[in-house]
Amino acid sequence: MRNKVAVKALFAIALSAGLFSCNNSRDYKDNSRATGWDINSKEGGFNYNADYDEQDAGPGLVFVEGGTFTMGRVQDDVMHDWNNTPTQQHVQSFYMDETEVTNLMYLEYLDYLKRVYPPSEERYRNIYHGALPDTLVWRNRLGYNETMTNNYLRHPAYANYPVVGVSWIQAVEFSKWRTDRVNELRLEKQGYTAEGARFAAEPGQGFSTETYLNAPNQVYGGDEEILRGGKNADRFEVEGNADDGTDAKNLYVQRKHGVLLPEYRLPTEAEWEYAALSLVGIRNYNVYRGRKKYPWDSQYTRSGDARKRGDQMANFKQGDGDYGGIAGWSDDGADITAEVKSYEPNDFGLYDMAGNVAEWVADVYRPIVDDEFNDFNYYRGNVYTKHAITEDGTVKVLGVDEIEYDTLSNGRIVARNLPGEIKTVPITPEDTYLRTNFNESDQRNFRDGDRNSSRYYDSFGDEATADPNKRMYNSPVHTASVDSLGGQSLQYDQSTGRTTLVDDNVRVYKGGSWRDRAYWLDPAQRRYFPQDMATDYIGFRNAMSRVGSKSLNKNKTARD
């Protein structure tokens, strides 16, 4: 009898635990823990994607789990730059391109621009031409490099070689284009937009991620058959009420649904250096075993593996007049750039984080990394903006006659906002009133270049009337402008009193290249170059922020 009672008691406990577990699960999936109201009810109320698991890796990206590391720790400083002071930094998890952006990837970008904004039409001509890499970077006054000048970008022999001749600004514009094309395809593949929607782009009526999120009726010209032509178009839709005349809601995918990926972008300097070092390979519990000089675990540039002993681990200049070794048995298999994935990846699975081409990163250059102010996701280069709002309270979407261009200091014209994109404007003092974390739009020279940090600072002085020559970084000021008829006015700064090339428009680039000695292969080494200029040895790769948990498939609970 006692056994039967015990069995019944255990069954009751198990049943109640199961019900409690089910209630917990249902509470999470179907109704609110805050109010008890149903979530995602067709009758109305709060709508949310409760089935979201975790972020997918975008095309070409691999996961880099974040952590702490010593940034700026170089093995050698024979250049005596004094710009590599070691600082302890923490980087959040993110995704990074497995390889550098290749010629083939960039040609796809150019093809899209040429189809949607034909350069044969005068008003679109500068969009395509402004995106073209500068193939003349290969020319040398005492060298014959015309083969690369004519073939490197477009010939299929170089399809999977890293693109060069691309300025920092062009790399940023490619990243924006890539974001929109990836998200456009995700909506189509997951059945929210019509099949083939990505081929419906016309000037001013194409797909922009930010426009879709903020003004979807201005994407694809507002064509509902395209915008809501997929089999899952009504997944998040909440039906309206015919009795009171309310319309259906959640007709389009929103940020809260987790369908769209964050933007592709250039990695920050801290992210790039952390990813290149890949210290995860020498981690022993919560410490690192020793130090790494290169992305691979060795103090030498040659492989110690028995099968590849003596082979170079990267593509770089090994000495005067030695870009690839002796014919017949090449030291590194390349004399200029090499095809991506020609060498072993590092412990994060990233290729060519040393050698091949150096790479643009997002940061504005300063000699010192200000870890006293910030040691978490360090980045210098923030310029905070907001969406422009029209008189009727909606976001301002640019039309075909409202393309925004930048005239660079070298006279080149680059489109920065294309038709169909939302116009952005700097934040104002009213936007930052009583804020303590930031108070103006442009933060590039914060604590190192702004008036408050210069030796000319006068607490009673007027910023507007300050002498422009009394700057912390007294760099050249070149001017370039274009008149209404397309005529250019270029004026080179001929002053002999300039003391530096550092200003708010020079960007950091990292990693050694095919033109560099082994000294520059150390991931902590840093150099800078004007953001509107290009070379034959600087390329780039994209990164994407990780949203959600720090690690993949961790912190999962029974309710999931």
Average pLDDT, integer, range 55-84? 89
pLDDT-based confidence at residue 431 (cuts at 50, 70, 90): very high
pLDDT-based confidence at residue 241 (cuts at 50, 70, 90): low
In this structure, the number of other CB atoms found within 10 A of the CB of residue 193 comes to 30
The CA angle 273-507-346, to the nearest 5 degrees, is 20
Task: Print the SS3 string covering 306-331.
Answer: CCCCCCECCCCCCECCECCEECCEEC
Q: 49, 257 in Cβ contact below 8 A?
A: yes
pLDDT of the residue at 307? 73
Quick one: which H or E segment has residue 90? strand 87-91
pTM: 0.91
What is the C-alpha separation between 188 and 220, in angstroms, rounded? Answer: 13
Task: Assign domain 61-190+259-381+504-545 one CATH number from 3.40.1160.10, 3.30.70.330, 3.90.1580.10, 3.40.228.10.
Answer: 3.90.1580.10
The percent of residues in the chain predicted with pLDDT above 70, rounded, is: 89
Q: 124, 186 in Cβ contact below 8 A?
A: no
What is the C-alpha separation between 471 and 477, in angstroms, rounded? Answer: 12
Strand-pairing partners, residue 94, are 64, 545
Average pLDDT, integer, range 95-122? 96
Joined together, the tokens standing for residue 220 give 């694809």
The CA angle 49-54-56, to the nearest 5 degrees, is 110
Sheet holding 358-364, edge to edge: 526-530, 506-510, 358-364, 538-539
Q: Of 241-250, 316-325, 483-492, where does the model show the most confidence?
A: 316-325
Q: Which amino acid is at 105?
A: M
Nearest to 398 by CA among 215, 173, 266: 215
What is the C-alpha separation between 69 and 363, in angstroms, rounded? Answer: 18
Which range (135-139, 150-154, 407-411, 424-428) has the least confidence?
407-411
| Choice between 340 and 26, residue whose per-residue pLDDT is larger | 340
Helix (H) and strand (E) counts in the chain? 8, 19
Domain ranges of the chain: 1-41, 61-190+259-381+504-545
The CA angle 510-512-518, to the nearest 5 degrees, is 135
Average pLDDT, integer, range 270-296? 82
